[in-house]
């Protein structure tokens, strides 16, 4: 199955993990892999070093250089500590925030991180227990820290864990710091270079002293407090899907004036085993099944969820047939940004200096709304660090209304710099109340929006290819799409191709090539057709998959045609999937 050269390489790497520098449990796990006739686990654990990328680390937990464990986490932290001491050498005391989610080993990894930072003379603010990812971002800004780390694998299955690194603005690191950190991490070649023995005097435990102001700052985002009070008993089903949102999200919802929060008891259990779901991802119907069942029992007005680290939001509403239906990530962004733009206009707060942000793979309907409302819109790469980059560049130049991406993440505030369900969920409750006050449901609001600004429907498809062979296959798929581009999609000619790896836009009608104005390159390819269809293709930066984002457009003349239009769009997207070979 594996060639002899590869087996020799991974065996040599694995044997270095049998030294006394590694703990007994790790050595035993590695020895078991070496002794096993089936070398699959050995190869997958050692064929490469788990890369500290521009977003940090993410991988399967276990022994080995390609796994999440205290040694790969330790190497990342020692490298980050070394760079912090270089970048902030003139500061008398460098400080960082360390947080974690509910995943198995998350507390162990967080304490490991705290110990290494403190052993390097860096002050650590360590959360007392699991906290939302956006609260770590918030704490960095509030406490005036230079960096931060959150141990989380977001919505990935339970075998994963991860490591997110943040800079002093509370955003995940970008250039030049990302590359500089990576270089320092790669320079850690021996586990003996990692300072594991912490200095307790430099570790300060934090909790409610950050929780309380965080909740109060989130409340300042409310634009319709009187409507919230009027519909305070609106039926809101909420599930944290076993994650850190269990306490902070209901607390935030209640602060906004809503007091009828209906829990899903089975999923209120905070557990890294995620016992009721196969994958704790609020964008998948199976993860939302128990919440939908509860909603049907109580006839809920809205169903909301957060993922395990409480940065993403899930939304379920009643459709025109009265059935509860999952809302996709694009629609979530559309409704958030629509409300923020329109409600600010209603309140007379627009000065012409406002702006919103979306990612290049997020719905173009947002751009249509922004143009009609006279709001400046920025497009950026996928990932909230790029939204945060726009926010940083626009400080003092414009007022941020909100920003989000199709992968179910939204940020309505500036005091944190990562997607935030703790603020987004009460905001969505407010939008539901605001619609109710206008005699509409959230579904009615969507239909009204599509009639006024143009109809669109989106679908994301992920093709999963794990392991080394999968990574090779994904790379080849991107080569094929570049070298043999689509000439037409569902019968409509491709008129524009954007290649963000080359930062080039090609007009297929004229042959004209223009440069794309982006801060860095990214492995993303986009097709735009004559009939308004948009197809984006990109490998995931954190998971073993290649993602396809399909978006179709049309007009909608009246409410009665909404279901027929959805059926038309679904059929069109099905045909597009077939033509791309991903059906």
| pLDDT tens-digit map of 462-474 | 888 877 778 888 8
Question: In the prediction, which pLDDT does 565 show?
Answer: 96
Higher pLDDT, 32 or 581: 32
CB-CB neighbours of 564 under 10 Å: 10
Same fold, 214-221+230-453 and 457-580: no
**Topology at the third CATH level for domain 48-199:** Alpha-D-Glucose-1,6-Bisphosphate; Chain A, domain 3 (3.40.120)
Average the pLDDT over 152-174 and give the result. Answer: 95
| pLDDT tens-digit map of 445-490 | 999 999 999 999 999 998 888 777 788 888 888 999 999 999 999 9
Question: In the prediction, which pLDDT does 104 show?
Answer: 97
Q: pTM for this one? A: 0.94
- CB neighbour class for 263 (10 Å; exposed up to 12, middle 13-18, buried from 19): middle
Answer whether residue 54 shows pLDDT above 80: no
| pLDDT tens-digit map of 526-559 | 999 999 999 999 988 666 789 999 999 999 999 9
Residue 99: closest CA among 9, 210, 226, 228:
210
Answer whether residue 385 shows pLDDT above 90: yes
By residue count, the chain amounts to 583
Average the pLDDT over 110-133 and give the result. Answer: 98
CB 236 within 8 A of CB 253: yes
Answer whether residue 403 shows pLDDT above 70: yes
- 325 forms beta bridges with 317
DSSP 25-67: HHHHHHHHHHH-S--HHHHHHHSS----BTTBEEEEBSSSTTS
Quick one: tokens of 564?
A: 């027929």
- Domain spans of the chain? 48-199, 214-221+230-453, 457-580
CB 228 within 8 A of CB 433: yes
Measured distance CA(233)–CA(215) in Å, rounded: 20
Answer whether residue 386 shows pLDDT above 90: yes
Phi/psi of residue 507, each to 5°? -85, 110
Measured distance CA(149)–CA(308) in Å, rounded: 16
Question: In the prediction, which pLDDT does 463 show?
Answer: 87
DSSP secondary structure letter of residue 561: G
Measured distance CA(359)–CA(277) in Å, rounded: 29
- 535 forms beta bridges with 527, 550
CB 341 within 8 A of CB 370: yes
In CATH terms, 457-580 corresponds, of 3.30.310, 1.10.1060, 3.10.28, 2.60.40, to 3.30.310
Any idea what the Cα angle at residue 228 is, between residues 365 and 387, rounded to 5°? 35
Task: Tell me yes or no: is domain 214-221+230-453 CATH 3.40.50.300.
Answer: no
Measured distance CA(469)–CA(543) in Å, rounded: 14
| pLDDT tens-digit map of 308-355 | 999 999 999 999 999 999 999 999 999 999 999 999 999 999 999 999
Q: How would you classify the pairing of strands 488-489 and 455-464?
A: unpaired
List, by residue number, the catalytic residues: 154
CB 304 within 8 A of CB 237: yes
Average the pLDDT over 118-123 and give the result. Answer: 98
């Amino acid at each position: 199955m594996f060639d002899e050269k590869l087996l020799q390489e991974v065996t040599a790497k694995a044997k270095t993990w049998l030294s006394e520098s590694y703990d007994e449990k790790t050595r035993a796990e590695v020895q078991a892999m070496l002794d096993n006739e089936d070398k699959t686990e050995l190869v997958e654990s050692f064929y490469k070093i788990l890369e500290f990328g521009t977003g940090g680390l993410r991988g399967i937990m276990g022994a080995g250089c390609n796994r999440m464990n205290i040694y790969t986490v330790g190497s990342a932290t020692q490298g980050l500590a070394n760079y912090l001491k270089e970048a902030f050498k003139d500061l008398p005391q460098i400080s960082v925030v360390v947080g974690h989610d509910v995943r198995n080993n998350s507390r162990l990894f967080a304490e490991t991180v705290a110990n290494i930072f403190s052993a390097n003379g860096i002050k650590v603010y360590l959360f007392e227990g699991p906290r939302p990812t956006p609260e770590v971002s918030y704490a960095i800004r509030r406490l005036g820290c230079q960096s931060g780390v959150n141990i989380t694998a977001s919505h990935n299955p339970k075998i994963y864990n991860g490591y997110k690194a943040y800079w002093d603005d509370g955003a995940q690191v970008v250039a030049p710091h990302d590359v500089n950190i990576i270089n320092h991490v790669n320079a850690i070649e021996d586990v003996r270079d990692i300072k594991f023995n912490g200095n307790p005097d430099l570790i300060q435990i934090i909790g409610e002293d950050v929780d309380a102001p965080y909740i109060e700052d989130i409340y300042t985002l409310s634009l319709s407090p009187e409507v919230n009070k009027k519909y305070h008993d609106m039926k809101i089903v909420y599930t944290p899907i076993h994650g850190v949102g269990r306490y902070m999200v209901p607390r935030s919802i209640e602060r906004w004036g809503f007091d009828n929060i209906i829990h899903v008891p089975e999923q209120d259990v905070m557990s890294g085993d995620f016992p009721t779901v196969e994958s704790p991802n609020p964008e998948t119907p199976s993860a939302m099944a128990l919440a939908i069942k509860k909603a049907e029992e109580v006839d809920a007005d809205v169903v909301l969820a957060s993922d395990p680290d409480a940065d993403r939001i899930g939304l379920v509403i009643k459709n025109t047939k009265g059935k509860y239906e999952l809302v996709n990530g694009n629609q979530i962004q559309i409704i958030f940004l629509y409300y923020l733009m329109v409600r600010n206009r209603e309140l007379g707060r627009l000065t012409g200096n406002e702006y919103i942000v979306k990612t290049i793979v997020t719905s173009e309907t947002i751009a249509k709304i922004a143009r009609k409302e006279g709001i400046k819109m920025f497009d950026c790469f996928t990932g909230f660090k790029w939204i945060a980059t726009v926010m940083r560049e626009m400080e003092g130049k414009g007022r941020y209304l909100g920003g989000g991406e199709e992968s179910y993440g939204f940020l309505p505030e500036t005091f944190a710099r990562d997607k935030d369900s703790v603020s987004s969920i009460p905001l969505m409750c407010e939008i539901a109340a605001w619609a109710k006050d206008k005699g509409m449901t959230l579904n009615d609001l969507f239909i009204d929006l599509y009639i006024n600004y143009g109809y669109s429907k989106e679908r994301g498809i992920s093709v999963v290819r794990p392991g080394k062979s999968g990574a090779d296959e994904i790379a080849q798929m991107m080569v094929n799409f570049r070298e043999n581009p689509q000439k037409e999609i569902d019968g409509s000619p491709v008129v524009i191709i954007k290649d963000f790896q080359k930062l080039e836009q090609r007009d297929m009608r004229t042959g004209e090539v223009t440069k794309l104005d982006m801060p860095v390159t990214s492995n993303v390819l986009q097709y735009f057709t004559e009939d308004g269809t948009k197809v984006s293709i990109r490998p995931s930066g954190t998971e073993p998959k290649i993602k396809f984002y399909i978006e179709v457009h049309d007009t909608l003349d009246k409410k009665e045609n909404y279901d027929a239009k959805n059926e038309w769009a679904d059929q069109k997207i099905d045909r597009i999937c077939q033509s791309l070979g991903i059906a």
